[in-house]
Homo-oligomer: A and B are copies of this chain.
Amino acid sequence: MDAYRYLILAEGSFGPLTSKTANSAVRYLGDRVVAVLDSTRAGSTVESVLGFGDGIPVVATLTEGLEYGPTALLIGVAPSGGMLPLNWRPMLIGALEAGLPIVSGLHFYLGDDPELQSFAESRGVPIHDLRRPPDDLSVSTGLARDVDAFVVHTMGTDCNIGKMTACLEIRRGLQEQHRSVGFAPTGQTGILIEGWGIAVDSVVADFIAGAAERLVLQAARGNDFVVVEGQGSLVHPAYSGVTLGLLHGCLPDAIILCHQPSRTCAYGGNGAYSWVTLPSLPEMIHACEAAVAPLRPAKVIGIALNTWDLSPEEAAREVEKAERETGLPATDPVRFGPEPLVAAVIAARDAQN
């Protein structure tokens, strides 16, 4: 998987908010993305849609995408519920027939689909289901609280708001300061980028915390810091269970809260959650700290904003506002760099020692 050059399938959904996996692949796998397939955006470039990604072309058909020399097809969207859209099947079969392995983060395991599996076998190419969990998970026992590494967990006011990106940017910032840091991927996109991890939203519900514990123990080996990718939100009606289980499994030393200033209600399902008003930053900080307090006195130590949809001036104002509201360092780690959060992490760790 580490050497694949991807054609990314995002049919009908390529956009800043609607194709999370595709967008992170573009950001973090760089020149290993050769084209994006979305007939509704065909003819444009990735940069014109996302604001980054340079001249990677958006194409209308599989045939057109194959001209750019991909060595694998990556499914670049994660529809709510994780099922396989019906109209994708011909494209997946076409890709397998063309000899491309498929990398998928759907809840629906493509490798369990008899038709797709049969095409894959006949062409001798693999299907990688990123979300398929290990089959030997169990319940957590609290071991994560004993690791020597300083464990930082990104949480959010909502799902799909930048928790993995915040982790990766903080890791980069720590590495630039010559700190050893492990990243614990908990979702399909992180697993795609890192080549290991567990999609905690796909494990047996009783084993959410157990999976998180295992990830922390693994990421902590030989490292002074661990950053654990958060999932969902404590106030998201559909995903909150994963969020709390993950928090209690990874038992962090400190929390970074991720937020998108323009977001006012819970994300997903074509507006299905618009009845949920997101709490304010101070309310959410209190909720996160209260949720972990009975197990560990972890504090929120910084705010990571996602300001992709704001002007530079608006973004700077939102950073200031977040700092004023919370009394914590804030930044958009992509736009303005992760340095304030990196400094907060190092300071929190030094204060603990």
Contacts and interface: CB of A to CB of B under 8 A. Distances in A.
Interface of A: 80-83, 107, 138-142, 145, 200-210, 234-246, 248-249, 251, 268-269, 272-273, 275-277, 279, 287, 290-291, 294-295
A201 B204 contact: yes
A240 B251 CA distance: 13
B241 A245 contact: yes
A82 B238 contact: no
23 contacts: A81-B206, A82-B206, A107-B204, A139-B238, A140-B238, A141-B272, A142-B237, A142-B273, A142-B276, A145-B275, A202-B205, A202-B206, A203-B205, A205-B205, A205-B208, A208-B241, A209-B238, A234-B244, A236-B248, A237-B248, A237-B249, A238-B248, A241-B243
Contact of A238 (B141, B201, B277): B141
A236 B83 CA distance: 31
A191 B107 CA distance: 26
Contact of A272 (B142, B237, B238, B273): B142
Contact of A242 (B235, B241, B268, B272): B241
Given A139-B80, A204-B202, A269-B139, A248 B240 contact: yes
Contact of A241 (B209, B237, B290): B209
Contacts of A242: 205-206, 208, 241, 245
Nearest to A143: B272
Contacts of A279: 294
A235 B246 CA distance: 13
A82 B207 CA distance: 10
A51 to B, nearest CB: 29
Nearest to A239: B206
Give the 6 A-B residue pairs with the shortest CB-CB distance, closest first.
Answer: A241-B245, A81-B138, A139-B238, A235-B294, A201-B206, A208-B241
Contacts of A248: 236-238, 240-241
